[in-house]
Structure 1
C-alpha cells in the first residue's frame, strides 16, 4: 500500500477529494465531431473547481496527449490531479452520439485501475461514482477507500449507471447497495433508479436507499426536476427552464453543485430549508450546463448571479411532504397564528406544513 502522504500531499487544503475515472469524450453530433475531457467523477471535480471549491481528483490516466489534455483541463479549474493518477497504458475514451434533441448515448473504451489508498487526513467530502465503482480491478480499491473513510468524512456517491460496462443486473445492484451503505448522500438519475429497481416507484426507490443507511437520497428527473428525500422529509424541486444545447454533464454539474451546497450549509445539515436551498442550487447549475455545449458547468459567480436574479420561476416552489414511519419525527410545531410572519402567507386551518415563501414551519 502506498504512503498516504504520497497520495494526498495537500490533503489538508482540499475540501473535496473525488475518486473516479477521467477520460476523453468524443462527441458526434449533427454539427460534427469534437473531443473534450470527460468522465463523470472528473466532471464533478471540474464543476467543483469552477465553483471555487478546493478539490483534488484521484484517477487513472495514460501518459499520453489525451492524459495531458485532461490534466490541463482540470488545472484550469483549479483542480489538483493527485499523485498516482498516471497509472494506465493509455487514456480512456467515451464516444457520445448526440441526437438532434440533445440526448446522448455512449460507447466506452475504458480500463480502470487504482493503487490502494489509505488517506490519513480526510477531506470534508469524499465523492466517487460511475464506472470507477463497478469496473474491476479499480472498483475494489474504491470500495476499500470508502470502508476506511465513511466514518471520518461525508461520502457522496453517484452510480451513473452505464449498462454496457456492467455485469449482470443482480451483480451491479449488489455492488451499488454495498457502496450505498458506506455513503451519506446518494444521487442517481431516474434512469439509474429504473434500471436498478424496475419494479419500484421513485418514491419507493428513495426509501429503499435510505433503508441502506444513507442520510439523503437524491433522484434527478431531467426536465421534471428532482426529488430529495431524507428519513423525515421529501422535497420535489422543479427543473429550471432552459434551452437545451445538449445534456452532457448535466447530472455531474448537479452533483457538483449539490456538494457545493452541502459545504456552504454545513455537511450533514438536512433541515427542510437547507434541503430546499440544495435542490434549487443544484437544479440551477444543471440548467446552466444544459444550455451550453459539452460538460461546461457554471462558475461560482455565474451560479450565484443566476440564483440572485430569481432563476427559479415564481410558481416553482418545492413541494414538501412529511414522511411518516417509525423513525419519522415532525419538527416542533409553533403556536397557531392567523398568518405566517413576516411573509403574511395565509395559514390553512390545521396546517403544519412548510410555508412556501419563508421556509418556516407553522
Structure 2
C-alpha cells in the first residue's frame, strides 16, 4: 500500500513549562500533530514559522529527529514563538503566549491537509491557511481541522465563530474539545454542536471530553467512546495525540468519511483514546509511536 504524504500547516513554539521546575519543550498543536503522524510512520510535511534562533533550531531538530519534513522557507520569523505553561496539581495547563505567525508558501496542493490552533486564527498567516484549505478542498483533497481555541489570543467570540465556520465548511474532519465547543457555541449541548458542524458540511465531527471520552459523528452515525483509564502525569498534547492518531487511521480508510459505520467509528475513537492515554501518562507532549500503541493493545488483550 502506498502511504500518502500528509501536510500540516500551523504554528510551532517552545513551551516554557513551570511545574516546580522550569523546562523548555518544543510544542504547538500543529507541530505536535505533525510529530505524532511521523512517529506513527506517516510521511508528513510541515509548513510552520520559526526564527533562526536557538528555539527555532531546537524545534526543527526535534521534529526532524522523528521524520517530519519541513517545507522550504520556515525560518522567516524574527523570533520563534513561545508559550509559558503553568501546570495545576491535576496536570491541567494554563498558557501565556508570545506568538509571531505567518505561513510559508506551500507549492504543491496536498492530498491531505491538517490545520488548526493559533495558525488558523492569527493574521497574517490565518488568511493564507484559509486559502490553502480552500485550494486543497477544490482539488478534492481531504482537510482536517482542530481549532484548539486559545481565548487569550482571540477577539470577539462571534467573529471567531464565523471564521471558524468558514474553515470548517471546507473541512472533511473537525475535532473540538469540550472547552472549544463551549467557547464557540455557548449554551449548546454536545449533540447540538455536532449537528452544527455536520450542517456546515463536515463529514466526520468529533468532540473530546477529557476523562469522559469522546463522541464521533457523521450524518448517519453518532458513537460515544469512553476514555482509557490511566494515571495522569501531564495533559499537554493529549488532544493533539488524539487528532494525529485519528488522521493516521483515516488516511488509509477505504470508505468515504461520511459513510463510516458505527463499529468503525468506535474503533477510531478507541485507538485515538489509547494513544492520548499514553501521552498523558508521560511528562511533556511525548507522543507515542505505532509500536507504543501495539504494546499497550497487547497488554489490554493479555
- State the TM-score, normalized to the length of structure 2: 0.95
Query: What is the CA distance between 1:311 and its match in structure 2?
Result: 6.9
Point out which structure has higher relative CO (alpha carbons under 8 A, 6+ apart).
2
Question: Match for residue 237 of structure 1?
Answer: 225
Counterpart residue number, 1:40: 29
Structure 2: how far apart are the matches of 1:274 and 1:137?
39
What runs of 5+ residues in structure 1 fail to find an aligned partner? 1-11, 313-362
Q: 1:177 aligned to 2:165?
A: yes
From 260, 263, 271, give the equivalent of 1:273: 263
- Separation of aligned partners in 2, 1:267 and 1:259: 14
CA distance in 1, matches of 2:255, 2:279: 24
Q: Structure 2 matches for 1:118-129, cutoff 5 A?
A: 118-120=107-109, 122-123=110-111, 125-129=112-116
Check 1:311–1:265 CA distance in 2 against 1; reply closer, same or farther (3 A cut).
Answer: farther
Cα deviation code 1:76-132 (max 9, x no counterpart): 111101112111011000010001110100000001112454524x23x21000000
Match of 2:124 in 1: 137
1:300 aligns with 2:285: no
Q: Which has the higher helix share?
A: 2
Post-superposition offset of 1:309 = 3.1
Partner of 2:251: 263
- Structure 1 residue runs of 4 or more that deviate by more than 4 Å after TM superposition: none
Q: 2:40 aligns with which of 51, 59, 65?
A: 51
Q: Choose which of 248, 253, 274 in structure 1 pairs with 2:236.
A: 248
For the structure 1 residues 298 and 115, does the alpha-carbon distance in structure 2 shift closer, same or farther, using more than 3 Å as the test?
A: closer
Structure 2 residue aligned with 1:222, among 192, 210, 214?
210
Alignment of 1:186 with 2:169, yes or no, is no
User: 1:265, CA displacement in angstroms?
Assistant: 2.5
Which ranges in structure 2 are unaligned for 5 or more consecutive residues?
Answer: none
Q: Secondary structure at the match of 1:88?
A: coil
The 2-side partners of 1:114 and 1:94 are apart by 19
The yes-or-no answer on 1:283 pairing with 2:270 is no
Q: For residues 35 and 140 of structure 1, do their structure 2 counterparts lie closer, same or farther at Cα, with a shift above 3 Å needed?
A: same
108-117 or 84-93: bigger deviation: 108-117
Structure 1 position 267, deviation (Å): 6.6
Distance in 1 between residues matched to 2:189 and 2:3, nearest whole Å = 41
